[in-house]
Amino acid sequence: MIDAIVTLLVVAKILALVLGSIVALLAYRAYLRTKIDGLQYFAVGLSIITVGTVLVGIFHHLMGLRSVVGMLIESLIISVGFVVVIVGLYGR
């Protein structure tokens, strides 16, 4: 049962990486077309959130990071990503 859950978690993390990367890429392409600075920050913020979420999973499984520490790091990374998105949406 545990192996099935771990497999589903890996699939979910890969799916989040792919989908988050697509959204970040679309935001960056929109920035290149429009030159609206906010879209650049939006793309960077989404990239931070996407990559950070996957890295925490890697740290947990490959480096033995405790789950609670992983959740703390993931929450901090996501918060940083959201701050970048907010700065992009509301200006510097």
pLDDT confidence of residue 67: 79
Question: Over the stretch 37-72, which tens digit does the pLDDT of each residue have?
Answer: 888 999 999 999 999 888 887 877 778 778 788 888
Which residues have a Cβ under 8 Å from the Cβ of 31 and sit 6 or more positions away? Answer: 37, 39, 40, 42, 43
Task: Note the pTM of the prediction, 2 decimals.
Answer: 0.82
Which residues have a Cβ under 8 Å from the Cβ of 45 and sit 6 or more positions away? Answer: 81, 82, 83, 84, 85, 86, 87, 88
